[in-house]
Amino acid sequence: MRVTGQPRPALRAAATLLASLAVLLMAAANARADGNSLIGYPQSNVIPRNAFHIDFDTVGKGANANAFTGFGITYGLGSLLQGRPNGGRETGGFLGRAEVGVDYILSAGQSVPAVPSQDRFYFNFKVQLYEDGASRTRIVAGGYNLGARSLYTARELYVLVSREHSWGKLQLGVTHALGPKEGLITPAGHADSTYAQLSYNRHIVGRLFGAFAGYTGLSTQSRTSVALAYYLDPQYKGSFAIGVLRYNDRSVLPGRDQVYFGFDYDWGGK
């Protein structure tokens, strides 16, 4: 997801929400599944074989959704890239899991609707490089924001390692943006293209999950966020998420502090 945004004072309400969500995360109960609370960052979970994941995302100053709005669909390939061992079921080895997806940009600041419909698509993929079930460790690589050339998308490639513990899931990674400078530069003139990622997510209570995530650097992609996701059903298929993003560069528009709303749904598989 391309989340951009340019100099305004910090939002008092946003800062308060960030602090409150952080306290919730630190005081939460034991970990469970990921939850869809990592907003706009890579994560190590991979869509199961023959399963679909749809998402709808909005980002903006307050509830305006004036920075980004889009929706997408992702499909799980299982071990197809290994040549269908075990009927294509997921394995713990190299390329034992994979997914591909496509997103459509409805709005992106002032860029849309001036951009033709055919130029609003962008793509993503993810492959498993390594997994150790005993230590609950996984390494993945992938790319997102690929395409949509006229929108100057960041076109990011990443490598990410995760490990699950009783107290939550920790993920560390490196992301590099291959897109043009126009898609990375802030009003203050910063356009870093390589970022370290740190993220932490966990189950809080019931069907409620939370996460913290951050990118280093100064660019339209460099930010930290805190979010909550609530699942609507006991099968953990549909969820709503709300979060706050704070950009490292205070000149980002439409404001350094932005609000995220999202809906995710999974179906199919095996």
The C-alpha angle 68, 145, 118, rounded to 5 degrees, equals 75
- Residue 113: what pLDDT? 58
Written as six digits, the tokens of 87 are 């009927």
Beta bridge partners of 230: 208, 240
DSSP string covering 111-151, please?
STTTS-GGGSEEEEEEEEEEEETTTTEEEEEEEEEEE-GGG
To the question of domain 12-268 being in CATH 2.40.160.40, the answer is: yes
Instruction: Give the ranges where 81-236 is alpha helix by DSSP (H).
Output: none
The pTM score is: 0.84
**Closest Cα to residue 141, out of 156, 121, 152?**
156
- Residue 14: what pLDDT? 43
- Residue 147: what pLDDT? 80
8 Å CB contact between 171 and 198: yes
Burial class (CB in 10 A: 0-12, 13-18, 19+), 174: middle
Written as six digits, the tokens of 171 are 């993920």
Taken in order 34, 163, 227, 21, the sign of the CA dihedral is positive
- The full set of domain ranges for the chain reads 12-268
Q: Please state whether beta strands 98-107 and 257-268 pair in parallel, antiparallel, or not at all (unpaired).
A: unpaired
Kindly report the backbone phi and psi dihedral angles of residue 17, in degrees, each rounded to the nearest multiple of 5, phi listed first: -65, -40
Tell me the pLDDT of the chain (270 aa) as tens digits.
Answer: 444 443 333 444 444 444 444 444 433 333 344 555 667 789 999 999 999 999 999 999 887 777 888 999 999 999 988 876 666 788 888 999 999 999 998 887 765 556 777 778 889 999 999 999 999 999 999 999 888 666 677 899 999 999 999 999 999 999 999 988 988 999 999 999 999 999 999 999 999 999 999 999 999 999 999 999 999 999 999 999 999 999 999 999 889 999 999 999 999 987
